[in-house]
Amino acid sequence: MKYYHLQNHEDYKAAYKASIESPEAFWEQIASTHFVWKKKWDSVLNWDFTKPEVKWFEGAKLNITENCIDRHLEQRANKTAILFEPNEPNEPAQHISYTELHERVCKFANVLLQQGIKKGDRVCLYLPMIPELAVSVLACARIGAVHSVVFAGFSAKALATRINDCDCKLVITSDGAFRGNKTIHLKEIVDNALESCPNVHKVLVAKRTQSHVHLKQGRDFWLQPLLDQASKDCAAVSMNAEDPLFILYTSGSTGIPKGMVHTTAGYMVYTAYTFKNVFQYTEDDVYWCTADIGWITGHSYIVYGPLANGATTVLFEGVPSYPDYGRFWQLVEKHQVTQFYTAPTAIRALAKEDIAHVTQNDLSSLKVLGTVGEPINEEAWHWYNEHIGNKNCPIVDTWWQTETGGIMISPIPNSTKRIIPTFATLPLPGIQPVLMNEEGEVMSDSPASGKLCIAFPWPGMARTIWGNHERYKATYFSTFKNHYFTGDGAFRNKAGYYRITGRVDDVIIVSGHNLGTAPIEDAIDEHPDVTESAVVGVPHDIKGNALYGFVSLKNKAKSEETLEKEINELITQHVGPIAKLQTIQFTDGLPKTRSGKIMRRILRKIAQGTTDDLGDISTLLNPEVVAAIKENAKRS
Ligand code: WTA
């Protein structure tokens, strides 16, 4: 049987069984039949979770852009690869064909080569959602440069941390970004960041907003004139299967963000395979994922997965609320979108608006709806199902992570027998999830609730954290022996369906964005009047979670209102506006263990108003602070 395209429940069952019984043969069949290789592998999989070391398709040589672009030129030369929809509704959409994409990527790759970028060099991309972002991702891959895309909502400090951590040589940015009715001056942010990035010698600037920018002589160059002069032929560099393709930062419980390293062959095979099946993409479909390419969802399911399947992928520059709350649905009708993939936070926000924004548009082109990034609540699920899907489109609630590279647990339309709201349902072929109890034992019976781990490697998994393999091991492979630990909790019902219940560590997901508490607290602690702080998540109707900060002060001279403003300003500068606190409670002290660790568990309960059971607080170093904090808790 052929496993690449699962079309019904029997296909899924057979594929899943084969993927568990003989994983190497399973992935080998997929890899050999659906991709172009410069040289095939010597071995399919070598792995050892104790080191940890995972290698897929070792010995193989390939270039992912040949798989995403060149090989489609014969049959899909004029097919739209990227359908760019600008922020302003009256600016025309751009249909970038596979032929044009090929030309643009080759030219861009030649510009990078001229600027001295070589295979293995890191290049930072800090761009709005414009075609140059997808093109520059692919241009890096063409020449073997490792791209590190930083979401253009991060601040200068956050950008600098990411540039320095992986020692990027070159930055690609734009004069500015349009987001709804705002213009953001990206180049200025880059200029600020680069004051603390001594190793960046070149900056390429795309023109988008026509904002005035300062070009530093010898360092900064307008992109377009360089592209105009570049040749449209550029040979695709031969990459080893395990050569790094990109680095993408994700928040951790502590410390600076983790630069997750994804390698070439396994990532390509896994994103292509999961895209094809989860979205059931067929040749004339128009697929739209509303994520930003600055996140893993955009990497895997705007760029690589769709293009590896020769798909038409929509790239939308704007926001769901501009010029009004009907924008998503207008675009679904305008481009006859067939698969639509978004975050629960967007669904919740749009469901609150006048339903006429939806009903004014013809959404009958839709076949599959998807969600990602956070648990979806039942109400939002039903609204999506009824009003957007007309009860006619399977909803794929896809669970995965920056670290997993691609979707891990999700319904497959036509194959998953029954889709239950709020359940990510069943593992995709090749994925072996397990639940662990507090004692670190595998829970084999169902129903069960535990910590979600994966017992066996899959091709799309991140291989390490850039420059810090020990941290990779400590974060993902040390909590449970011989298992990858996801950091999520999950429930499994009798039928074996998984529901993701949320993070079990200090990562907080706000509007679908992962935020680590450490960098936010570091920003708050920069304030001269602050002694220390702790940030926790509280449930929020639209964002899923909002941030609640407990801040202890050494100096109470200023009004609380002024302090709140100053603290949020610091957070905006150090992390970005997405990390602003919704609520700030000033305290005289924070509850601590005898070893001096802040007891977030207690603070979380106080912030969430569930103080009936605070557990045993008598072992705290300073139990007396708890009563006062409880009494002054703020309800929003
Ligand atoms: C959460 C996003 C519930 C989860 C692709 C995970 C989800 C984290 C779902 C990774 C889902 C993602 N249901 N929770 N369908 N999808 N999550 O790295 O906590 O930005 O660990 O990757 O988002 O977020 P990341």
The pLDDT, as a whole number, for residue 42 is: 98
Tens-place pLDDT, residues 445-459:
999 999 999 999 999
451 lines ligand 1 (CB under 6 A): no
398 lines ligand 1 (CB under 6 A): yes
- Average pLDDT of 488-507? 94
Distance 294 CA to ligand 1 centre (A): 15
The pLDDT, as a whole number, for residue 181 is: 97
- How far apart CA 80 and CA 287 sit, in angstroms, is 11
514 lines ligand 1 (CB under 6 A): yes
Residue 273 has pLDDT above 90, yes or no: yes
Helix 131-143 to helix 98-114 angle (10° resolution) is: 60
Residue 371: strand pairing partners: 342, 397
Nearest 5°: the CA angle 102, 106, 112 is 150
503 lines ligand 1 (CB under 6 A): yes
- Average pLDDT of 485-507? 94
Q: Which of 271, 398, 400, 499 to mutate to test the pocket of ligand 1 (most atoms within 8 A of CB)?
A: 400
Q: Which is the closest atom of ligand 1 to the Cα of 502?
A: 19
Helix 186-194 to helix 156-165 angle (10° resolution) is: 50
The pLDDT, as a whole number, for residue 518 is: 87
Residue 574 has pLDDT above 80, yes or no: yes
Tens-place pLDDT, residues 582-627:
999 999 899 988 777 888 889 999 999 887 777 777 778 888 899 8
Q: Which of 262, 509, 515, 545 to mutate to test the pocket of ligand 1 (most atoms within 8 A of CB)?
A: 509
Tens-place pLDDT, residues 139-194:
999 999 999 999 999 999 999 999 999 999 999 999 999 999 999 999 999 999 99
Residue 414 has pLDDT above 80, yes or no: yes
Q: Which is the closest atom of ligand 1 to the Cα of 403?
A: 18
pTM higher than 0.85, yes or no? yes
Share the mean pLDDT of the chain.
96
- Average pLDDT of 349-377? 97
Tens-place pLDDT, residues 293-315:
999 999 999 999 999 999 999 99
- How far apart CA 383 and CA 3 sit, in angstroms, is 34
Residue 118, phi then psi, degrees to nearest 5 = -120, 170
Q: Which of 260, 289, 492, 500 to mutate to test the pocket of ligand 1 (most atoms within 8 A of CB)?
A: 500
Beta carbons of 160 and 574 less than 8 angstroms apart: no
258 lines ligand 1 (CB under 6 A): no
The pLDDT, as a whole number, for residue 1 is: 60
The pLDDT, as a whole number, for residue 619 is: 75
- How far apart CA 542 and CA 545 sit, in angstroms, is 8
The pLDDT, as a whole number, for residue 15 is: 97
Please name the residue whose Cα sits nearest to atom 25 of ligand 1. Answer: 401
Residue 217 has pLDDT above 80, yes or no: yes
The pLDDT, as a whole number, for residue 270 is: 98
The pLDDT, as a whole number, for residue 621 is: 84
What tokens does 485 get?
């630990």
428 lines ligand 1 (CB under 6 A): no
Rg for the chain (alpha carbons), in Å? 24
The region of weakest confidence among 201-215, 224-238, 544-558, 606-620 is 606-620
Q: Which is the closest atom of ligand 1 to the Cα of 401?
A: 22
Q: Which residues contact 177 (CB under 8 A, 6 or more apart)?
A: 127, 128, 152, 183, 184, 186, 208, 209
- C-alpha to C-alpha distances, 51 to 23, 195, 243, 472, 503, nearest whole angstrom: 21, 38, 19, 10, 25
Please name the residue whose Cα sits nearest to atom 8 of ligand 1. Answer: 401
Q: What share of the chain is helix, strand, coil (3-state, %, to 5)?
A: 35, 25, 40
The pLDDT, as a whole number, for residue 392 is: 96
Confidence band for 636, pLDDT divided at 50, 70 and 90? low
Above pLDDT 90, what percent of the chain? Answer: 91
Q: What structural domains does the chain harbor?
A: 9-319+398-430+440-454 (3.40.50.12780), 507-631 (3.30.300.30)
- How far apart CA 153 and CA 78 sit, in angstroms, is 34
The pLDDT, as a whole number, for residue 620 is: 83
Q: Which is the closest atom of ligand 1 to the Cα of 409?
A: 15
- C-alpha to C-alpha distances, 52 to 70, 241, 256, 462, 474, nearest whole angstrom: 35, 18, 21, 11, 10
Distance 399 CA to ligand 1 centre (A): 6
Q: Which of 347, 508, 514, 543 to mutate to test the pocket of ligand 1 (most atoms within 8 A of CB)?
A: 514
Q: Which is the closest atom of ligand 1 to the Cα of 375?
A: 3
- Average pLDDT of 501-530? 91
Distance 401 CA to ligand 1 centre (A): 5
- Average pLDDT of 360-368? 98
Distance 227 CA to ligand 1 centre (A): 37
Q: Are strands 544-553 and 530-540 parallel, antiparallel or unpaired?
A: antiparallel
141 lines ligand 1 (CB under 6 A): no
- Average pLDDT of 26-51? 97
Q: Which residues contact 166 (CB under 8 A, 6 or more apart)?
A: 122, 146, 148, 247, 259, 466, 467
- How far apart CA 177 and CA 318 sit, in angstroms, is 10
**What's the count of helices (H) and strands (E) in the chain, helices before strands?**
21, 30
Please name the residue whose Cα sits nearest to atom 23 of ligand 1. Answer: 373
